Amino acid sequence: MKSLVKKLVEIVGPSGYESKIRDVVRTEIKGLGNEQRVDAMGNLIVRMGEKKKDGLRIMLSAHIDEIGIMVTHVDKNGFARFTTIGAVRPHTCFGSRVRFLNGAAGVIGGERLDNPGNVHNFEQMYIDTGASSDAESPVKIGDVAAFDRPFEDLGNRLISKAMDDRVCAAVLIETMRGLKNSPHELFFVFSTQEEVGLRGATTAAYGIDPDLGIAVDVTGTGDTPRSVKMDVSLGKGPAIKIRDGGMLADPRLVDAMVTCAQKNNLPYQLEILLGGTTDAKAMQITRAGMPAGCLSIPTRYIHSPSEMVDSRDLENAVQLLKSLLSEPIVLA
């Protein structure tokens, strides 16, 4: 999966500007499914199979947007001020390189601080594109960018910007490629604008009206020095979510995932994330509501320019999803 992950993570596609990454995903899944379409929110939706007597109408969602920045002002010396798209954190920005949709590059700098031990806030930062005047600037108000970091292969561990959530798009693509038979009618959704409020998944779920919703997203870990107290580690398998900051996973789906993993001798972890949420929240409360849950990829340094995952967790997530979707899912 490494070549696929590399291809997906290096595309620039902040929330609301996912067309380039959507086109790449569409190329990767060409010929798969009964139907492919793009809805009004820009979600790529792929329908696979037909619902059998013991099957369900299932929506699986992985978002393809990433956090980013947007230019709000360019001063007379060519320095661009910016606002954030999604949960960008100030301490990850200073000195980071960014890449704009138009190809322009820049580095984030900051005003001199009275106390050098402090962290710049966004009002004190700017983007230096190398321009010496506003007329020379390659960017203007409203232009958007994402962090610019190349994919790095460290063996089992992989590093890049936008692992959140492009690795999960890769998981869905590989699941689609490897799934031979299913009693379910499946809707694979590559959703938009998750980082700014789960917007794509909300409208997609409304249109699909599934019986069951499964998000595939990243989650934090508790395996680094002085980290949060969290029983999730890189390399120990995908994490089956029990709850997060926005939802309680349906316990019947949690049990079904755990049983499937145990039956197929697949490694898994149980996840409780105290902050943040996923597309599963949007699915759970759309229309009259539905059972929903999430399969998570353990990830270090989330919402930074250099997020880290373990390729074995990705591969085991694919195997778990293929096994889960190949049989009836009993929600009794």
Options 10, 66, 185, 194, the catalytic residue? 194
Residues 6+ apart with CB under 8 A from 18: 42, 64, 65, 192, 193
**CA-based torsion, 105, 69, 145, 298: positive or negative:** positive
| pLDDT category of residue 331 using cuts at 50, 70 and 90 | confident
Q: What average pLDDT does the segment 86-114 reach? A: 96
Count CB atoms within 10 A of the CB of residue 91: 8
Residue 82 tokens, joined:
């910016």
The answer, yes or no, to whether residue 6 has pLDDT greater than 90, is: yes
Note if 194 is an active site residue. Answer: yes
The C-alpha angle with vertex 63 and arms to 157 and 225, in degrees rounded to 5, equals 35
The answer, yes or no, to whether residue 184 has pLDDT greater than 80, is: yes
Residue ranges of domains in the chain, CATH in brackets: 2-66+161-325 (3.40.630.10), 68-147 (2.40.30.40)
In terms of Cβ atoms closer than 10 Å to its own Cβ (0-12, 13-18, 19+), residue 76 is: exposed
Span 158-182, pLDDT tens digits? 999 999 999 999 999 999 999 999 9
Which residues face 58 on adjacent strands?
A: 186, 212
| pLDDT category of residue 90 using cuts at 50, 70 and 90 | very high
The C-alpha angle with vertex 308 and arms to 144 and 81, in degrees rounded to 5, equals 25
Span 34-70, pLDDT tens digits? 999 999 999 999 999 999 999 999 999 999 999 999 9
| pLDDT category of residue 332 using cuts at 50, 70 and 90 | confident
Is the peptide bond preceding residue 65 cis, with omega within 30 degrees of 0? Answer: no
The C-alpha angle with vertex 13 and arms to 84 and 170, in degrees rounded to 5, equals 125
